[in-house]
């Protein structure tokens, strides 16, 4: 049974969808004014795994996200880059879509853009004014938080406490300092026509209008970073439920922050790494593995040192994938007894993996189980008296299928093509010759020469692996480990 931690209730709840077998899911996306940073990528990876697991469980998932392509920061940045705001938004939206491919993040079923949904936003604001939840002042429209009885229910803040801590700005138009903007007046020629004059949509109203247009007045999951709980998601609930008279979202999910030296990574603070900077040093798979090594709701401390540790840990899983593939290409001996005990252990690990993700998508625990499965596989295929036979071949084929299936849920891919392309070429006999020389050096206890051959091969991208079945070699997947630009 899948249980999900719901920020709205502060509890893990049994997951039940509005429509049987279908999940409607909206995740807050980017303001497309710059390249994505690792905080953005963590969020995208976390919700990608949630989506993948829901699909594994048999749900049909309608996964929606957005690009905010209208605001002051975009206009300012466009001037700096000598682009129109539309050109700038397109540039960084496309850059994000390029980046997520590097991390094996499945694109959303639809990316909604604010500029394409202004009519829906104006209609929503108009209705809120008509229902006395909002008011207009000098071309600006504000939502009245006092008009919505449940304001604060997501963040757990009372209106009185928020009002006591609020600061009233000079010449404030708002009736209450906590009232938030639905429509913002702008200079002539810079915005969209509306009943209140030319302007732009407020930030919060965007997600409400776009998500309800695609998914309906009530949908299953709304996700985003923990920093969006207040005020963004709190305001989304207020304006959406005031507009429709219905519950907005059933399950609110929030991922933790990515921290540098204990502080949240943030563009406004200047303490962030863009995804492209990180991809110059590490592969998308290595970064993905690292970010999934913590539960999605927990903060994670980011550093290149921690990424190096994650790289080594991921390599253990990759090596098992390679070894398993090699074993399945051994010559098959005569039939023998099946090893039911081994396969029973494999199934136990598979079930533990699914149980971990069924407990609020616990990727950290799931990765631990995947390593346990790796240990079970290695112990079996690396036995000195291991031989491949008709019985265990079928078992190992199914084990490989399970292994890859679980890795796929986490979005981890293990390519074997690069190694196979080198086989049966001139490189193959040359490498075999070098390994024969290394083996003779080892027999003569000439460890220095043996280590030199191994190290020089590694320098050119060949990993030498000593196994109970003899010495083997693998291409150290150069393309996979090479960062993006």
Annotated binding site for Zn(2+): 28, 207, 232, 236
Pairing of strands 258-260, 300-301: parallel
Torsion sign (Cα): 302, 304, 309, 310:
positive
Q: Which two tokens stand for residue 428?
A: 């193959």
State how far the alpha carbon of 225 is from the alpha carbons of 29, 113, 162, 202, 332, in Å: 10, 19, 21, 19, 52
For residues 130 and 299, give the distance between their C-alpha atoms in angstroms, rounded to a whole number. 42
Closest CA to 253 of 23, 43, 40, 80: 43
Closest CA to 121 of 32, 195, 230: 195
HSE of 264, CA atoms in CB hemisphere, 13 A:
12
Annotated binding site: 28, 207, 232, 236, 267
Q: Which helix (H) or strand (E) holds 336?
A: none
Annotated binding site for ATP: 267
Strand partners, 225: 255
For residues 168 and 132, give the distance between their C-alpha atoms in angstroms, rounded to a whole number. 23
Q: How many residues are recorded in the chain?
A: 485
| DSSP per position, 233-256 | IHHHHHHHHHHHSS--EEEEEEEP
Helices 203-215 and 234-244: crossing angle in degrees, nearest 10, is: 50
CB 118 within 8 A of CB 186: no
Closest CA to 161 of 227, 243, 233, 230: 230
CB 223 within 8 A of CB 26: yes
Closest CA to 357 of 49, 42, 105: 49
Across the beta sheet with 180-185, what order do the strands follow? Answer: 134-137, 140-143, 180-185, 199-201
């Amino acid at each position: 049974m899948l249980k999900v931690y719901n920020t709205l209730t502060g509890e893990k709840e049994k997951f039940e969808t509005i429509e049987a077998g279908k999940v409607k899911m909206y995740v807050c996306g980017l303001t497309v004014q710059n390249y994505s940073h690792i905080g953005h990528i963590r969020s995208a990876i976390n919700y990608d795994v949630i989506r993948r697991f829901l699909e594994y469980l048999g749900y049909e998932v309608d996964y929606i996200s957005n690009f905010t392509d209208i605001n002051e920061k975009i206009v300012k940045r466009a001037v700096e880059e000598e682009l129109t705001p539309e050109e700038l938004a397109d540039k960084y939206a496309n850059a994000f879509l390029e980046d997520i491919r590097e991390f094996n993040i499945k694109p959303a079923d639809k990316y909604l853009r604010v500029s394409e949904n202004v009519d829906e936003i104006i209609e929503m604001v108009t209705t809120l004014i008509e229902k006395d939840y909002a008011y207009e002042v000098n071309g600006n429209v504000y939502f009245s938080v006092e008009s919505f009885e449940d304001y604060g229910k997501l963040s757990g803040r009372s209106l009185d406490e928020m009002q006591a801590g609020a600061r009233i700005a000079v010449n404030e138009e708002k009736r209450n300092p906590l009232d938030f903007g639905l429509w913002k007046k702008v200079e002539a020629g810079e915005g969209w026509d509306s009943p209140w004059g030319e302007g732009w949509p407020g930030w919060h109203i965007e997600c409400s209008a776009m998500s309800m247009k695609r998914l309906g007045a009530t949908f299953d999951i709304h996700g985003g970073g923990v920093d969006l709980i207040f005020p963004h998601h709190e305001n989304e609930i207020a304006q959406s439920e005031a507009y429709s008279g219905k519950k907005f979202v059933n399950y609110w999910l929030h991922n933790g922050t990515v921290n540098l030296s204990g502080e949240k990574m943030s563009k406004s603070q200047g303490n962030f790494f863009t995804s492209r900077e990180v991809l110059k040093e590490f592969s998308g798979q290595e970064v993905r593995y690292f970010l999934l090594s913590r539960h999605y709701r927990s903060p994670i401390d980011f550093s290149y040192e921690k990424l190096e540790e994650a790289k080594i840990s991921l390599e253990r899983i990759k090596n098992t994938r390679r070894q398993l593939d090699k074993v399945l290409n051994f010559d098959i001996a005569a039939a023998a007894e099946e090893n039911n005990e081994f396969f029973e252990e494999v199934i136990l690990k598979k079930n533990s993996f699914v149980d971990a993700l069924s407990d609020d998508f616990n990727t950290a625990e799931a990765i631990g189980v995947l390593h346990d499965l790796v240990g079970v596989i290695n112990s079996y295929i690396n036995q000195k008296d291991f031989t491949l036979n008709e019985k265990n071949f079928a078992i190992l084929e199914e084990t490989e299928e399970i292994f890859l299936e679980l890795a796929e849920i986490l979005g981890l891919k293990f390519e074997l093509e690069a190694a196979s392309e080198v086989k049966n070429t001139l490189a193959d006999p040359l490498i075999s010759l070098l390994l024969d020389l290394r083996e003779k050096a080892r027999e003569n206890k000439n460890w220095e020469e043996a280590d030199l051959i191994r190290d020089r091969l590694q320098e050119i991208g060949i990993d030498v692996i000593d196994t109970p079945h003899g010495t083997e070699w693998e291409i150290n997947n150069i393309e996979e480990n090479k960062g993006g630009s």
